[in-house]
Structure 1
Amino acid sequence: MNRAIKQGICLFFGCLGTLLAIAQSLPKKPDFNVVAFYTAKNDQAHISFVHEANRWLSKLGKTYGFRYDSTADWSNLNSQFLSAYQVVLFLDTRPEEAAQRAAFETYMKQGGGWMGFHFAAFALTPSTYPQNWDWYHNQFLGSGSYGSNTWRPTSAVLRVESPNHPAVRGLANTFTSAPNEWYRWSNDLRTNPDIDILMAIDSTSFPLGTGPKPHEIWHSGYYPVVWTNRKYRMVYMNMGHNDIDYEHKTNQQLSSTFGRPEQDKLIINSLLWLGRARRKP
């Protein structure tokens, strides 16, 4: 092989190596895009969770290859804005305007993905958040109205109810959650054929709550905390209420929703399942 050919080969592989290095340094296209809507204006426990969730989910996106955006502007809940995202999150509330609600319903019926946390399912008439959206609360979530809650925020032992579902696959049969305020609902989700209950409170959690009011302590019953609706790509999780120092009026955060390996894995599994599932054309 003459010298010119050798030089040409060296030059070719040198250029190839440079191109590969450049390609590896370029940002990769995300596997899917996620946008979280939030309000973060009222209960300090919900505000604390929203800020914690935004930090944690942003880091999660960098680790698992999805783009994470968040917005407090609910007017973005429209078809044009949503078309750029495969998954929508409601971190603490729900849309109130009729046009926003209609856009979200259309998005979900066309195969969009959704994950909601804690207060996103709240509805109580009369209250600031009345049950005035039948499709969302009765058909989509299936839970109906808020019934009651435990107090103070405490950990609970959670039990996997549908072990074959991708959201809970690989989790321990039971695990201890982060502290949370737990909700009871007006509808019995077990009677809804469209609902798959993924996790519920295990009986070893009772008594659950510390009061001081007796009705804020649960001693028995069946309480779903994570579920999905077979008609949609969605997961609802009752988690999302950090413990706060209300008594001493410091509003200091006393607990964290994230950082428990099993609970983190539940959220990660759910988000990846929603983001990587094929959307309807």
Structure 2
Amino acid sequence: RAVFERYTEEGGGWIGFHESGYNDKDTHWPWFVYFMGGGVFYCNNWPPQPAKVVADRPGHPVTKNLPLTWTAPASEWYQWNPSPRLNKNIDVLLSLSADNYPLGIKDIINFGDFPVVWTNRRYRMIYLNMGHGDEIYTDATQKLLVINALKWVLSADKQGDPFKK
């Protein structure tokens, strides 16, 4: 934990998918909760289902050339409490549309703010809620999202814009 904290505090990049960001009241790592935006796991849909995704920040390098909305392949979607959006250091890039509610069959989510991709401005990090299975890689839009996220994390540009010349 200390090595990871030091690595990111010193500017090291991190891209997290799905369960890599999981934390709850029993995590006992306050720094990681802060790193992830201050929210802890609240609930999830089950079984994995496709969902409509909405771009909150279409001008960000990670969302470059993505549609404003699309249907993402089936995933188990995590909801956080409080929403990471409430943290001034968090930049929410993509959210699930409220059109998805109710979401789930066995475990159902009926309401709430639902960020699914965000960055923490204090770190070179991005979290993507997608990734419960390999279906994330079957969709061209999500492939572009992953490529853009990797470029952004690895970019030498201070703003993380890999497309700047």
TM-score (norm 1): 0.54
Deviations 1:43-71 (A, max 9, x none): xxxxxxxxxxxxxxxxxxxxxxxxxxxxx
8 Å CA contact retained: 1:145, 1:186: yes
Q: Which structure shows the bigger proportion of residues in helix conformation?
A: 1
**Match in the other structure for 2:47:** 152
- The 5 A counterparts of 1:73-84 are none
**Match in the other structure for 2:163:** none
Q: Which amino acid aligns with 1:238?
A: N
Task: Say which of 117, 120, 130 aligns to 2:20.
Answer: 120
Aligned-pair CA distance for 1:106 = 0.9
Unaligned runs of 5+ in 1: 1-100, 243-254
8 Å CA contact retained: 1:142, 1:187: no
Query: For 2:110 and 2:41, how far apart are their aligned partners in 1?
Result: 19
SS in 2 for 1:114: strand
- The 5 A counterparts of 1:208-219 are 208-211=103-106, 216-219=107-110
8 Å CA contact retained: 1:131, 1:145: no
8 Å CA contact retained: 1:226, 1:235: yes
Aligned-pair CA distance for 1:181 = 0.6
Deviations 1:221-266 (A, max 9, x none): 2111000011111100111112xxxxxxxxxxxx622120111111
Task: Say which of 100, 122, 130 aligns to 1:205.
Answer: 100
Q: What is the identity percentage for the equivalent residue pairs of Structure 1 and Structure 2?
A: 40
8 Å CA contact retained: 2:43, 2:109: no
SS in 1 for 2:73: coil
**Is residue 227 of structure 1 aligned with residue 118 of structure 2?**
yes
Deviations 1:186-229 (A, max 9, x none): 22222211000010001222221112xxxx21232211100001
**Is residue 258 of structure 1 aligned with residue 137 of structure 2?**
yes
**Is residue 140 of structure 1 aligned with residue 140 of structure 2?**
no
8 Å CA contact retained: 1:150, 1:181: yes
**Match in the other structure for 2:161:** none
SS in 2 for 1:227: strand
8 Å CA contact retained: 1:203, 1:220: yes
Query: For 2:118 and 2:137, how far apart are their aligned partners in 1?
Result: 19
- The 5 A counterparts of 1:1-281 are 101-125=1-25, 130-137=26-33, 139-211=34-106, 216-242=107-133, 256-278=135-157
8 Å CA contact retained: 2:14, 2:153: yes
Structure label with greater radius of gyration: 1
Deviations 1:16-48 (A, max 9, x none): xxxxxxxxxxxxxxxxxxxxxxxxxxxxxxxxx
Query: For 1:124 and 1:207, how far apart are their aligned partners in 2?
Result: 23
Query: For 1:209 and 1:162, how far apart are their aligned partners in 2?
Result: 26
8 Å CA contact retained: 2:83, 2:114: no
Q: Which structure shows the bigger proportion of residues in strand conformation?
A: 2
